[in-house]
Every structure is written in C-alpha cells, then in structure tokens.
C-alpha cells in the first residue's frame, strides 16, 4: 500500500481524498543554553556566563507576544542537566529558583496563564521529573537521534541510546503524549536508521504514546567539530521518510522541519507534519535557518491541505492524556482551530 496517497480519518483509510499536512504555531523559549553534553554538531550550548539563562521577564514578554500572535504552543527547552556545569547554580538562584526544573515548571504555569499550551523538551529526565512536569505540559519530547554509538556524541553521557530509550519507556508508562525522532547525517548508517525506527516503533507498540517522529537533517555549524561533515541529500531524507512510513504505525505522524530542508520536495515521500513553526521567535538550535512564513507553508505543501493543530494530537485529547488543569485551554484552543478562525 502506498501510504502517502491516502488520508486517514481516525483509523479508516479514505482514498482519493485531499491529503492533510499539519503544523503547530509556537513560540520557542530556550530557558538556558548551558548543557552538560558536548555533541560534535551543536552550536546551541554555551559556557556558564551572563545571559546563559533567559530571565522570567523575557519569558513572559515572549508569552505575551505569542498569545497576541495566536500561538498555541510554548516550546520550552534547555541544555541537559545544566546544574552539572560549575557556576550555573548562581544564575538559577539569582532568578529566584532552586533548580532549573523548578524554573521550567513555573514558566510552564506562566504559559498556561497566557493561554498557550506548554511542550517541554529538556533532555534526559528521571521518571519523577517527568511525572512532575506532566502536570503542566500538554506533551513532551526527547529526540532519540540514533541507536548507534557515534563519535558525534563523544563526551555526551546524556546521548546514550539506552538512557534515551529508557526515558521513552518512562514517558509511555506515564501516558505522556510524546515526540521523538532521528537526527540524520551525524555518522549513522542506513541500517542504524532502520534500527532506530524499529526501536521507536516497539516502544510505541507497548505504550501507544508516540504522537510524532521527527526526521531532522543534520545542518553543519561553523566552529563545531562537525563543521565540514557531509550533509545528507534530499534523496536520502526521502528514502528515510519512506522507510519510516513502512516501519511506524500509521497513527504516528512523520515530521520534517521546513526551515532546514525544502519541504516541497519531501511532502510526496510520506510527510504528515511540519512541526512547530513560529511567527515570532527564531529556531535557537538552528538560528541560521529562519522559519518560513506561515502563509508560505501553504505553497510548500502543494495540493495538500495545510491544517493547524495543537501540540497534543487529537487521539490523546480523546483519551484524556493531559492534566486536568489544561482541559479548559485545550478545549478553547481546539475550538478556535477547528473553527478555522486563523
């Protein structure tokens, strides 16, 4: 069966119907750029220094502007376990918080007050930490990246495939609607990509919580160890999308980042979603790649229908896999999107 020629309504395939490609309108909030990992491709990480922590006032200003711009998702991210870096504690304490997790929780609560659903991607978290953040998040995420042991992750203990898969398992146990994905072109083989997709599929089969899998192409950054690394071709990405569609259950969306690659060349390969796109903030992980304007997304998807979504997918709303505090906001934002008022 050629999956990308079908649009699925619920679980029923309906052929000869216009495809739907989704996206989320978001704001990107990097609470800190301090990180314990030393990935060979990363330019997001900075040393502990002035400005390494986004102030509460700056967060609230972005949330205010995001709400005015009609954003429905607040993507909270930060370097993994920043407290392990000497000197970071002084910055988080000066902001009035004991830990970065306390700070993240408080900013998620602020997002809810401003009418934007929080989605947190903070690297490796324990079961208890995820259970805590689950109370103030509509969904959460962690990129698996790869199941292979690669030089790109040397000096990055948080990038152990076993540790990351264990966190995906914990998220499933906690019934957290979850985003994960692969980073393509960091030294893995085609066999590694297949193994990684199978691992994600198997976790989802046990818990049913993986709502989307990002297939993100590596983009070399000047000044990094991998600045001269080969970039994967569009054909390679397309082949990986097709492989993912064969391996992953149909209810798991396949996502690409439209600021990192020409999405118009990949929609026909089996893409379902364009991820979070911000009308307000930059992609702080890939700042050299601006987001396309939301109106431009309609051109990128070609003959398909572009449809806005929330950061929690409909099937998880139906299951009630969200904290009670978010129900009024999920209902209101869902109705706004459904009404097509934006």
* Cβ 158 vs Cβ 37: under 8 Å: yes
Written as six digits, the tokens of 313 are: 């997918």
Name every residue whose Cβ is closer than 8 Å to that of residue 84 and which is 6 or more positions away in sequence. Answer: 36
Write down the pTM of the prediction.
0.92
Does the domain at 16-338 match CATH 3.20.20.70? Answer given as yes
Provide the pLDDT for residue 18: 83
pLDDT tens across the length of the chain (342 residues): 333 333 333 333 444 578 999 999 999 999 999 999 999 999 999 999 999 999 999 999 999 999 999 999 999 999 999 999 999 999 999 999 999 999 999 999 999 999 999 999 999 999 999 999 999 999 999 999 999 999 999 999 999 999 999 999 999 999 999 999 999 999 999 999 999 999 999 999 999 999 999 999 999 999 999 999 999 999 999 999 999 999 999 999 999 999 999 999 999 999 999 999 999 999 999 999 999 999 999 999 999 999 999 999 999 999 999 999 999 999 999 999 988 644
By DSSP bridging, strand 12-14 and strand 7-9 are antiparallel
User: How many other C-beta atoms are found inside a 10 Å radius of the C-beta of residue 242?
Assistant: 17
Q: Where are the domains positioned within the chain?
A: 16-338
- What Cα–Cα distance (Å) separates residue 125 from each residue in 133, 140, 182, 282? 10, 11, 19, 25
Measured CA to CA, the distance from residue 210 to residue 66 in angstroms comes to 26
Provide the pLDDT for residue 5: 35
User: How many other C-beta atoms are found inside a 10 Å radius of the C-beta of residue 29?
Assistant: 26
Question: Tokens 């899998």 sit at which residue?
Answer: 213
Provide the pLDDT for residue 338: 84
């Amino acid at each position: 069966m050629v999956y990308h020629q079908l649009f699925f309504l619920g679980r029923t395939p309906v052929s000869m119907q216009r495809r739907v490609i989704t996206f989320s309108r978001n704001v990107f909030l990097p609470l800190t750029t301090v990180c314990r990992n030393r990935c060979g491709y990363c330019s997001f990480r900075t040393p502990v220094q002035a400005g390494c922590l986004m102030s509460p006032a700056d967060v609230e200003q972005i949330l205010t502007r995001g709400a005015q711009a009609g954003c429905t998702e607040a993507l909270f991210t930060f370097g993994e376990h920043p407290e392990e870096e000497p000197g970071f504690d002084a910055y988080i304490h000066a902001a009035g918080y004991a830990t970065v997790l306390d700070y993240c929780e408080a900013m998620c609560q602020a997002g809810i007050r401003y009418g934007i659903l929080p989605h947190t991607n903070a690297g490796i978290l324990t079961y208890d930490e995820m259970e805590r953040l689950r109370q103030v998040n509509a969904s959460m995420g962690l990129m698996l990246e790869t199941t292979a042991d690669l030089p790109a992750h040397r000096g990055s203990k948080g990038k152990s495939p076993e540790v990351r898969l264990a966190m995906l398992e914990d998220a499933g146990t906690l019934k957290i609607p979850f985003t994960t994905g692969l980073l393509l072109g960091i030294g893995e083989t085609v066999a590694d990509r297949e193994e990684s997709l199978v691992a994600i599929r198997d976790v989802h089969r046990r818990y049913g919580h993986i709502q989307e899998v990002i297939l993100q192409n590596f983009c070399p950054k000047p000044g990094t160890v991998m600045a001269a690394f080969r970039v994967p071709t569009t054909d390679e990405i397309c082949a990986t999308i097709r492989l993912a569609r064969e391996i992953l259950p149909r209810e798991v969306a396949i996502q690409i980042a439209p600021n990192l690659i020409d999405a118009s060349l990949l929609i026909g390969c089996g893409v379902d979603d364009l991820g979070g796109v911000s009308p307000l903030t930059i992609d702080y992980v890939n700042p050299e790649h601006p987001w396309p304007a939301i109106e431009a997304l309609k051109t990128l998807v070609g003959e398909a229908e572009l449809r806005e979504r929330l950061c929690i997918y409909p099937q998880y709303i139906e299951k009630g896999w969200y904290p009670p505090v978010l129900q009024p906001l999920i209902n209101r934002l869902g109705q706004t999107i459904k009404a097509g008022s934006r």
